[in-house]
Amino acid sequence: MKGVAKKAESKAGAIAAARPGTGKADPLVIRDIEFLGGMASPTGWRPPDLTLPEVAFSGRSNVGKSSLLNALVRRKALARVSKTPGKTREINFFRVNHQFVLADLPGYGFARVAKTTREVWRPLIEGYLRISAPLRGVVQLIDSRHPPTPDDLLMLEFLAEIGAPTVVVLTKIDKLRTTELKQRIISLTSALGLEEAQVIPFSTVAKVGRDELAEAVVELVGEPSWRAAALPDVAPDEAPPPEV
């Protein structure tokens, strides 16, 4: 997962030392936020305005994604916190300050979800991540209480494969005792192939990590598309023939 590690370092590493309560200005002041709609299939509806950059949020079911999104935008019910993991079946889009879009991906890996439903989600999530032109990066959530699941590792490998800038967030750190938190972070970063400075510990209960994540999102939004940067230069006489 070296590709993910390199991208995460450039986005999260520089802000890892910042902590709430330092007196710093809010890096993401939410003035306006609007739910745009849901994308239910790879070829289905999606926000028509492709000029606004998008940041996607990914994680397994019950990782705390809805609570994290609510804390990030300082709203109580932007994303509904469900008591039934795996219930969200669409990619939900939210426009923020008329400047960028948050894409809330369905949670993966919930065993009780029907196999047919999981088979629909995979092409939906992977298709969006592969082809969404406005996508600037992905915030990947990992539950700090447990080792990364096989699905977590597969997702990180996939993000590295497509070259998506990725910010890794360790959720629910308030569930860990203070004495075990440090060792847990060391263990998780080792399993993920990352450095400690490349992840953002997060807790909606303890109000830890919100500003670090907000700053990382702002940085992602401000970056040019990595897809354009990844395209090889093609000389005019080497250009592929037009489709007929």
pLDDT tens digits for 111-120?
Answer: 455 455 556 6
So what's the pLDDT on residue 239?
45
Is 116 within a domain? yes
List the structure tokens of 12.
């999260």
Query: Tens of pLDDT along 230-243?
Result: 655 544 444 444 44
Q: Check which CATH number belongs to the domain holding 216 and give it.
A: 3.40.50.300
**Is 235 among the domain residues?**
no
233 or 45: whose pLDDT is higher? 45
Domain range for 157 is 2-14+27-222
- pLDDT tens sequence across 67-78: 999 999 999 888
User: For the CA atoms of 167, 170, 171, 176, what is the dihedral angle to 10 degrees?
Assistant: -170
Does residue 183 sit within a domain? Answer: yes
Residue 239 in any domain: the answer is no
Whether 229 is covered by a domain: the verdict is no
140 domain-assigned? yes
If one counts the domains in the chain, the total is: 1
- On whether the CB atoms of residues 101 and 53 are closer than 8 A, the answer is yes
Q: Is 227 a domain residue?
A: no
The stretch 31-53 carries a mean pLDDT of: 92
CA gap 29, 42 in Å, rounded? 32
Query: How wide is the angle at C-alpha 79 spanned by C-alphas 13 and 211, nearest 5°?
Result: 25
**How many CB atoms neighbour CB 110 within 10 A?**
18
Residue 230, in any domain of the structure: no
Q: What is the pLDDT of residues 82-138, one digit of tens each?
A: 444 445 579 999 999 999 999 999 988 754 554 555 566 688 999 999 999 999 999
